[in-house]
Structure 1
Amino acid sequence: MAYDKIIPVRARLDHCADYVLNPEKTSLPDGGPRLATAINCQLDTAYWDMMATKRRWGKSGGVQGYHIIHSYTPGEVTPMEAHEMGVELAQRLLGDKYEVIVSTHLDHDHLHCHILFNSVGFMDGAKFRNNFQDYYRDIRGISNEVSRAHGVSVIEPEAKGEHYAEWSAGQSGKATVRGLIRQDMDAAINSAFTYQTFWEQLARMGYTIKRGPNVKHTAVRPPGGARFIRLASLGDGYTEDAIKERLAGVRRGESPIAASPPKPPSRRYAVKNGLLPRRPHQKLKGFRALYVHYLYLLGIRRPSPKRPPLPFSVRKEVTRLNRYVAQFRFLQANRVDNAAQLAMLGDALQAEIDALTDQRKDLYRRKRRGQDVDGEIQAITQKLRPLRQKLKTCGQIEQAVSHIRSQTELCRDAQRKEQEHQKAITKTRQARSQKFSPPDR
């Protein structure tokens, strides 16, 4: 199964090229050919060819290139097959406009191709635009076509997913709005005899009903509800045809159970010694662990009375407590533990900001030509604000991590000095007690 992700390269394109073409990662162990290929450039001078294209078109700033990682499930393909598919993907996606280098790395159990290409096209100087729609239409789509052609499985959604709130509530056993509506509809079917009396029963329960010849989707709004819920979204057994069939079953004397099957009973297990093993808590690491430790030092919880006093430079940091809490929540929400993950997140946010900014520039040009696009401009501006705030938070965290580490080290030094001082006091007291203690008789 092939999996793709794309990373914008904003600095040191040469470093990325060196990593992609690393001979220790791309050379077959049996002395076979090196799994590296260049498209529209030379393998040994790929970086300089890309930079020459940027200078020729006067576009040396911004995103320098893009790095696609094309991975396979372990054991699904051979190294040569993986490389062949990576080259075909790059050729079909980028071969007519961009300089590209493709390599297959063999240093992990899962084979993966690295596709690095110039952000500026050598044919017309146009810059590659990376956004969500292009990913699924071009990169994901062509990748799936190549995988199918070579008999490799692809990632495709099988059906419409369940809303997270519904899924989460179902997992925890909590009631949901749709679940309560289904219960009321089951009760109405049980007490009704015809289709019309079913709707009258729902209306007596306080439901607002939207149906008729001019209504495309029959829907109901529960008492106190803010919006209508379509019957089709309630699942099998709650569409109009299914309700009519269930009412016909009531008239035949059948049990008016819902069409959806009941949940299977939970299994019962015998536990040795009557105790269930505790599931260990997931241990934080990296940046998140650093922030949690520092927040405890700053007193987010009541400090232990035995804890040594903190240095003044740390104690005055309490004025920034809310800022550090917000940064930790940002790290926790995005599962960021190291500098590489933080940089990748920042690059992704910047790529999305760049794409929206370019769209807004085009709208401003259309506005100057007299077109009414103020609504579209305002919508893009609303999207840019939270993205820029997140990118700003990434920069703040990058600067704060080194500061927090230095402050944490000061606390450790203070703690070591306090422990040494207490040991010296204890040793002195013991020596005095032995010196002045009366002799044994």
Structure 2
Amino acid sequence: MAITKIWPVKDSLNRVIEYAKNVDKTENPDFLNSDLYQVLHYAADENMTRFERQYYVTGINCAVETAGQQMQITKERFGKIGGTLAHHACQSFKPDEITPKECHAIGVKLAQKMWGDKYEVIVSTHLNTNCLHNHFVINSVSFIDGKKYNERKAEYQRLRDTSDALCREYHLSVIENPTKRKRSQGLYQAEKRGELTRYALYRSDIDEAIERSMTMKEFYDYLRRKGYRIKGKIDSCALKLPHYPRFTRFKTLGEAYSVLQIQDQIYRQRGPEVREKSKEPILFFVPTPKKLQIEDILGFGEEYRKLRNLYRFFCYQLGIYPKNKGQVSMSPIIKEEVRRMEEISQQTIFLCKHQIDTYEQLKEKQTEIQTEMDDLISQRKKLTNKMRRAGPEEKELLSQQKRGLTDQITRLRRDLKLAAGLENRSLDMVKRIETINELVDNKKLISREKYAKTENYLK
């Protein structure tokens, strides 16, 4: 199984070439244990020793040692020096599925089929991670006709198809139906930290609805009772809570949360008798009925309902309501409010701990935390450089010091995030106050105008 990526390089051509040719990542481990290496290690000619070490680096239409100069000469020859300098591609394989030699051979074949007829390419195989992977540095200008390489969607699809064909040729696994949607990095990190994200909230409520439903109608009704809005056909059915601006499709939450999978789970958890009697058809459209509640009739609306539910939740948590009648299902709106309250609570503790009373003091504290964090990061970097040259005992001691610095940096990053949240909240409050003042001034002005018109009319 190989995963492919490609992206443009616009900052430095030599940087990306040197990264691809890094000797610590591309050196052949089999050669290091051979008799030839032992002989060459004592040779006087270091250049010959370097050349014969058999790094997993290959140049296509260029020499490995002078690849950067050759690519630059091609650019100058056709007068195309600016813009995208090169393209950097990667081909990563499944752990323990392939040998370094096969990995490099597949990489060279892939580069020859994709770019070998028109472009200069460096192919390097990195062995420093659990997953063997190839790096490709492609000159952006063709040495044949001077045309620039266009990294469009069709070209990336060709790269993926060519890589899959080579994997099948070498009897390697292939991803048959790759997912096109990519999860955002911020959402991934938040879920990794165990935070209650919007997607995690949706998944937990859907799981709860599946357990308490015997039909898809019961499933949708249960979600609506919890405050969700649902719309769409079966392939694009989506849900959302009132305080979120956009709908989220069920299938975006994962393959297990598509409408067909949910229907299958509900069908499987029925008894055998129910399965025989009822084979429920798929609901191609999920209407959202309008339900009037007493708060709407009296004119209180959604805000009153949120406050009432929040009050009930806290009564339950404080023990005012009995807890021996089974577990109370918490509304997703209440979960969101609790999460915000926890955030505000942490920010309040931060303000009290550092005795911050003004916006200027908050900015000074942010600068102080950032300076301290930069200093610790610099110290940790120095320790990392020492660990590369240290012995086993000294390396263990330096590793402990590095872990201590990492813990301090983590705490400072948390404080910096709290300070940034306080700053945003404060600026938002200032804007709201200004908006309210403007509305009040406008109302006063309108009242004065009406009063003046009335006086003129009476005169």
TM-score (norm 1): 0.43
